[in-house]
Amino acid sequence: MDFLDLFSHGFIQRALLAGSFIAALCSALGTFLVLRRLSLIGDGLAHVTFGGVAVGLLFQAYPFYVAVPIVAASALGILKLIDKARLYGDAAIGIVSSLGIAGGILIASVAGGFNIDLFSYLFGNILAISYAEVWTSVLLCLCLIIVITLSYQELLAITFDEESAKTSGIRTDRINRILVLLTALTVVLAMRVVGIMLVSALLIIPAVTALQFARGFRTTIMISCLTGILSVLAGITISFALDLPAGATIVLVNFALFLLSFTCARLRTRNATRRPPDTA
Amino acid sequence: MQMTSVVTTENLSFRFNGVEILSDIAFTLEKGEFLGIVGPNGSGKTTLIRLLLGLIKPTGGMVTIFGQSGDVFREWRKIGYLPQKIAAFNPHFPATVEEIVALGLLSGKSFPRRVARGDRKSIEDAMALLDITSIRHKLIGELSGGQQQRVLIAKALVAGPELLILDEPTTALDPEGRERFFATLKNLNGDRGVTIIMITHDIGTIGLHASKLLYLDKTLVFFGSFDDFCLSTDMTDYFGEHSQHVICHRHDT
């Protein structure tokens, strides 16, 4: 079969389409999370997704629909722990994350293990993406675009300094809730693309890559989205061409792009330091 | 002339985890006054400001701000706030100076909060006042501590606040920057009638500029003019004659 013929298959088209939208979602949300030092929330919520999937498999329900409310509630739980229990973000994420994993393992053990099914959620199965998941990712992407467009200045203010944002009358609690709920939904969707184990890479690496080139907040979000989409498209294509696991390939392409941007940024900094310093 | 109260606190107290952080703070600040809040480390200065701004809720007493109870106060455009934690900056934060200054305008806007074309003049004026126009396209993380401080002051001023609250604003400034900063405050306070509350460790310097001094040490130790502070026998007992003399002598020179 000719390599280009691959792209005429419905499952490949679905994979590329859903993958691109999910990558854009993860990258845009990741920019806010990385800058607010909440990078690992994706990892934590992915672990909770594992618990949610296990519950779904136990009751023979579609795991996606079972995982969504559980992960959304956990995301809000993380916020409550930070706000009410005055825990550091990473500690709150750690608690909820380990609870999710523990719950998943316990359920899998009680049910006698789900073997293949659970394995496909842990490491992703991009070929199994359904039309429903494609449309959900498109819909979620639209929601995110609307939220970012309407709340751009608030998001920037909160990301820069949450306390000052409060003194501007911004309802930081509301914006935070929207942000973590969108992250929760995105993480559950993304488990099909890269798997539960690697989902945080889609949130973190494109944002960190974009930060190497950043010349403004808006452009950072855009570069992050482009990097995420590029890595998913390239990752899927390479994985088909070389018969490699798609999730892992996507993450490695992401890392290669980060390495490239990091090297370019260091070279640029080195050249800049040779010029006289700008003082004011 | 009739005075208008901008900030009033009555028996204001705050406890955290059973520890008394502030107790029984009562003072009134009138429109156009310049209040310097001083006190040793851990005396509750930043806590007092956070209570005034409604960032934390008092465990006792009340705050009235622009005639409204702190619980219901929503006229955020009247307040410009410069927080203390400049050191907590993420050096890779990707926003430009102009984007950061523009954030100061959000307090006067309702949803969806957008910086409109008509806001350009306010942004230009604030940047010109703090002499940061030439670095407008630079990222905040690329600037020196002093430059970052000026950007944050411009952000606090851009909406034309009636009350400016500054938490140790001069720590990152060099002597020349500090002089320029106080000249800006003098202009805002004297010419534009902006009420100012400023936390500092430097009693001698704030005594030169502020019309009122509030000395905190978990409770209100002194509230009044700097001259009264220097003449107060209570303060002589509190500081010792020598220390009071050193502080006030510096003011005289």
Which CATH number do you get for residue B125? Answer: 3.40.50.300
**CB–CB contact B107 A163 (8 Å):** no
Which residues span the domain enclosing B156? 5-252
**CATH architecture label of A3-267:** Orthogonal Bundle (1.10)
Residue-level pLDDT, tens digit, chain B, 253 residues: 456 799 999 999 999 888 999 999 999 999 999 999 999 888 999 999 999 999 999 999 999 999 999 888 888 999 999 988 655 567 678 999 999 999 999 987 777 778 877 888 999 999 998 889 999 999 988 888 888 888 998 999 999 999 999 998 887 777 887 888 888 888 889 888 899 999 998 887 888 889 999 999 999 999 998 888 888 888 788 777 777 666 776 555 4
Closest alpha carbon to A172 in A54, A39, A63, A82: A82
Count the domains in chain B.
1
Nearest chain B alpha carbon to A36: B90
Shortest Cα distance from A216 to chain B (angstroms)?
A: 5
Q: Is B51 on the interface with A (CB under 8 A)?
A: no
**CB–CB contact A153 B132 (8 Å):** no
Express each pLDDT in A232-259 by its tens digit.
999 999 998 898 988 899 999 999 999 9
For chain B, the average pLDDT equals 86
Beta carbons within 8 Å of A146's beta carbon, 6+ residues apart = none
**CB–CB contact B96 A220 (8 Å):** no
- Report the distance separating Cα A226 and Cα A194, nearest Å: 18
The more confidently predicted of residues A228 and B234 is A228
Lateral strand order in the sheet of B220-224: B79-82, B163-167, B195-199, B34-38, B212-216, B220-224
Tokens matching residue B100 = 């950061």
Interface confidence (ipTM) of the complex: 0.84
pLDDT of B206 reads: 86
The rounded percent of chain A whose pLDDT value lies above 90 is: 42
Q: Which residues of B touch A168 (CB under 8 A)?
A: 76, 103-104, 106-107
Is there a contact between A122 and A197 (Cβ–Cβ < 8 Å)? yes
- Could you give the angle at the alpha carbon of B111 between the alpha carbons of A206 and A74, nearest 5°? 50
Closest alpha carbon to B45 in B202, B218, B196: B218
CA atoms within 13 Å, Cβ hemisphere of A154:
22
Task: Please list, residue by residue across A160-183, b when 16 or more beta carbons sit within 10 angstroms of its beta carbon and e when fewer do.
Answer: bbeebbbbbbbebeebbebbbbbb
pLDDT of B202 reads: 82
- Report the distance separating Cα B163 and Cα B195, nearest Å: 5
User: Measured between alpha carbons, how far is residue A171 from residues B35, B42, B111, B195 in Å?
Assistant: 29, 29, 11, 26
Is there a contact between B22 and B13 (Cβ–Cβ < 8 Å)? yes
